[in-house]
Amino acid sequence: MLGLESEKVVGHHVETILTVGSRIFYQTHLFPLLRMHGHAEEIFIMLRAADGHDEAALLNAVRRQEGEDWLTYCILIRVRERRKFEEALLRAKKEAEAARETLDAHRKELELANAQLEEQALELELSQHQLNEHATELEVLNQVLQERSAELETQRTIAQDANQAKSAFLAAMSHELRTPLNAIGGYVQLIELGIHGAVTPAQAEALARIARSQRHLLRLINEVLNLAKIEAGTVNYEVRPIVLREIVNSVFPMIEPQVHERGLTSEIDVSPELVALADRDKTEQVLLNLLSNAVKFTNAGGCIRIVSGSTSGPPRQVWLQVEDTGVGIRPDKLAQVFDPFVQVDVRADRRAEGTGLGLAISRDLALGMKGQLSVESVLGQGSEFRLTLPAA
Ligand code: ADP
């Protein structure tokens, strides 16, 4: 069992095969026990093997007297198995401890996470609170906005009514003004014709001036009346398919004499295929206005062109464009030319030729036909006015 030669054991003291610890135990506990009781059972004891390793054993012993001598009989059993279990138990205990430590660590982590979560919950509650506050503010704002928009709506109705009243007033006034103006024109003509006696050259010149002013005033009034009617929405549009080329053919002859008179050349490049959905008379009116402006604002030697085109859309559109090589319009004034009574950089003698209403009326008419009137111009080089209309 211990790998010892028998001569090293037989005849020697029992302590020879014990470890140091077991020797002390033997002397202090085991031997006194045997002497007192005469026997001992299942005492755990460590033995020293030949190679120096410790061997655990269980000891059963009996002490009895034989003749003169007291003899102790021992039986030693290896407890390697038991040790194995003990070690396993120890290992298990250690593992359990480690597991507990891991558990503790996990618990700590959980506690930390929990604390963070609580903090976040608090923050969330705070944001929720702020959101609620914002929502309330928004609601208030919304109410204010609604009130404002209601106010605006009322004001818009008032403005609309006022605008209509203005247009109605203008229409009535223009009508009232035209009658006496026509009378002035008529009487001037009668005097010019010498019905009331001979007219001196000086008188004739004065009469011509009166007649020019009368015509200008009449045109102004007619155009004001036109604009007033359009703005009051009392103009009816007879929309039907119209061939752009035909419009040009009927309008251009009206302006042709002035083109020649002013020493201008002209060019027409309008496709006969293009058909617009528009009011014929109104389209002619717009074109005539664009052409007379082109003639008015182009100096001798210049050129006036009428061109056309179409867009594939949607919506499909066709356009007529009047181009000139005239004085052009300053970029900062470009948008204003469509405003009523706007005349850009016009010399005093030219001012008498226009009213500043032509383009305002033309744009309103274009819009009334679901079209547009736009302009591009380079100062000193010329202008392009484009009337775009829905295609038929
Ligand atoms: P009017 O011709 O009676 O003055 P319009 O409304 O037709 O009034 O035109 C407004 C202004 O736009 C004109 O006075 C002129 O300054 C400018 N304008 C219009 N057409 C042209 C053009 N073809 N070339 C340069 N300026 C133009």
CB 373 within 8 A of CB 387: yes
What residue owns the CA closest to ligand 1's atom 3? Answer: 354
CB 241 within 8 A of CB 275: yes
Residue 342 CA, ligand 1 centroid: distance in Å: 8
Residue 144 CA, ligand 1 centroid: distance in Å: 45
How far apart (Å, rounded) are the C-alpha atoms in residues 63 and 25? 17
How far apart (Å, rounded) are the C-alpha atoms in residues 301 and 297? 12
pLDDT at 85 (0 to 100): 75
Each residue's pLDDT tens digit, 66-101: 999 899 999 988 887 666 777 888 999 999 999 999
What residue owns the CA closest to ligand 1's atom 23? Answer: 294
pLDDT at 305 (0 to 100): 97
CB 317 within 8 A of CB 310: yes
Residue 71 CA, ligand 1 centroid: distance in Å: 148
Is 327's C-beta closer than 6 angstroms to any atom of ligand 1? yes
How many residues belong to the chain?
392
Residue 158 CA, ligand 1 centroid: distance in Å: 32
How far apart (Å, rounded) are the C-alpha atoms in residues 34 and 73? 11
> Residues 6 or more apart from 313 whose CB is under 8 A from it?
391
Peptide bond into 390 cis (omega under 30): no
The helix/strand/coil state of 318 is strand
What residue owns the CA closest to ligand 1's atom 20? Answer: 293
Residues of the chain with pLDDT under 50: 351-352
How far apart (Å, rounded) are the C-alpha atoms in residues 210 and 184? 9
What is the chain's mean pLDDT, rounded? 89
Which ligand 1 atom is at minimum distance from the Cα of 351?
Answer: 4
Residue 337 CA, ligand 1 centroid: distance in Å: 6
The helix/strand/coil state of 146 is helix
Is 288's C-beta closer than 6 angstroms to any atom of ligand 1? no
The helix/strand/coil state of 232 is coil
Mutate to test the pocket of ligand 1, among 286, 287, 329, 386 (most ligand atoms within 8 A of CB): 329
Is 362's C-beta closer than 6 angstroms to any atom of ligand 1? no
pLDDT at 220 (0 to 100): 81
Residue 64's closest CA among 39, 95, 41, 43?
39
CA 11 from chain centre, in angstroms, equals 108
